[in-house]
Amino acid sequence: MMRQYLDIPVAPADLAFGLMADFDADPDPRKVSLIAGAYRDENGLPWVLPSVKEAKSYLDKSPNHEYLGIAGSPTFIKLAQSLILGANFSETLKENIASIQTVSGTGANHMAAVFLAKHLRPQRVFIPSPTWVNHKSIWTMAGVPHEEYPYYSSDTHAVDMAGMLATLETKAEPNDVVILQACAHNPTGVDLSMTQWAEVVRVIKRKNLFVVFDSAYQGFATGDVDGDAWAVRYFVEQLILNAESDVTHPGLCIAQSFSKNFGLYGERVGALHLVVPRHLSPQGAHSELMAIARSEYSNPPRFGAGVVQKVLGDDNLRRQWQEDLSTMSARIKKMRRELRRRLKRLGTAGDWAHIESQIGMFSYTGLNHHDVERLRNEFHIYLLPSGRVSICGLNEGNIDYVARAIREVVGSG
C-alpha cells in the first residue's frame, strides 16, 4: 500500500518556545523566566524604545499599507547597509553589494542558505559549537551538510581559538561556508578579540572560504553600533577592499536583524547583504535573491521597516535610539555585575567572573542539566538545558531569589 503523505513522525518541539509555554502555564508566583531572547525593563516588562515609539507615532499620521517592492524599501536597504558597513564602506562598495529586505534575521540566514546552496554549491557549512539553534536547521533545509567547529571552551569560559582554527585549517575546502556571529555571541556571550578576528580572516582568505556573518545584536552588545560592527567591516576590508588583483575571493554575506536593537521582535525586520569582489557585478545575484523572495513571500513586511527607516533617517531620532541602546546595554551589564556579586557573597561554589565578562543578552553560566532541572522543578526558574540564561530576565525584584537558588543547587565553595 502506498505510504500516506501524512504518515510522518511528529517533529520535535522547539525547545525554547516549549519552555516558554511551560513557564506561562506555571501558576507559581515565584517563577522567573530566563529563556527568551528579548529585552525586559527593570520591572520585567517589554520595553518599547522611546525612539521607536516616536517613529510609530509619525507613521500613524500617514498610514500606507501598500505592498513594498520584492526587494523591500530602497531607503531602508541603503540605511541598513550604512549601519552595518559604515557610511564610507557602503558608498565605496555600492556597485558591489546586492541587498534585499528580509523577514528578520532568520529570513536573512535562510535566503543566504538557499542562494548559496544553489550558486556557490559548498560541500559543507561550518557552524560554531555552540550556536543559535536555527543555524543548523536552516542549512539542513537548504540541503547543505553541516560540520561544527569548536567555538567555546567550558574550561576557560573563552573562545576555543585553537580548536576553531584547527578545524577550519584541516577540514574546510574552497567555497565552503563558515558561519560567524558578528558580536554578542548567542548563546555564550563570548566574542573574539580583534587579534583573534585577524587570525580567522587569514585562514578564510588563504582557503577561499565564504563567510556568512549573522549580525543580530549590533549596538545591543556594547551600546556602540560602530564597535559592534567592527568584525564585519574588518572582514570586508580584508577580503574585498584590500584583496590583491590576482586573487579572487568568493565574497561574503551579512544577515542583519533589527529585532533586538530596535525591540521590534514581532515585526520581523531584517536585511541580507551580499558583498562581491570589486571586479564582479552583483546584479545577477540580486535578481536571484528577488526570485527566491518572490516565490516564498512576495514582499517583505512594511511597518517595522518603516519604523527603522524613520529612526535611522532622522538625526534626532537616531540620537535617541543610540541613547536607548545605551540604556539597554547598561542595564544588562549591571545585572551581570549584580548576579556575580550576589553569588560571591553567598559563597557559591565556583568562579563566576565569566558572567560579568561576557557581553550581550546571554550568559553561558556553566550550570549543568541537573542544575537546570532543579532550578525549574524546585524554584520555578526557567532556562535552557545548556545553562544559557537571558540576563534581560533579571531585575532587582528577582535577582536575589535567583542567586539564592543557584547557590542552593550548586552548593558552596
Residues with active-site annotation: 132, 214, 260
Q: Are 394 and 402 in contact (CB under 8 A)?
A: yes
DSSP class of 3: P
As given in the structure block, the three cell numbers for residue 165 are: 582554527
Compute the distance between CA of residue 214 and CA of residue 235 in angstroms, rounded to an integer.
13
Contact residues for 390 (Cβ-Cβ < 8 A; gap 6+):
33, 34, 35, 36, 37, 38, 361, 362, 383
CA 85 to each of CA 28, 91, 275, 276: distance values in angstroms, whole numbers, following the listed order: 47, 9, 10, 14
Compute the distance between CA of residue 61 and CA of residue 118 in angstroms, rounded to an integer.
43
270, β-bridge pairs: 102, 257
Compute the distance between CA of residue 208 and CA of residue 250 in angstroms, rounded to an integer.
7
Q: Are 109 and 214 in contact (CB under 8 A)?
A: yes
Measured in degrees and rounded to the nearest 5, phi and psi for residue 388 equal -75, 130
Compute the distance between CA of residue 205 and CA of residue 285 in angstroms, rounded to an integer.
22
Compute the distance between CA of residue 256 and CA of residue 84 in angstroms, rounded to an integer.
8
Q: Are 100 and 122 in contact (CB under 8 A)?
A: no
Q: Any idea which residue has 551581570 for its cell?
A: 336
257, β-bridge pairs: 270
Measured in degrees and rounded to the nearest 5, phi and psi for residue 173 equal -115, 160
Tell me if residue 389 falls in helix, strand or coil: strand
Strand (E) or helix (H) holding 159:
strand 158-159
C-alpha 129 chain-centroid distance:
14
User: CB burial class (10 A; 0-12, 13-18, 19+) of residue 29?
Assistant: exposed
Length of the chain, please?
413
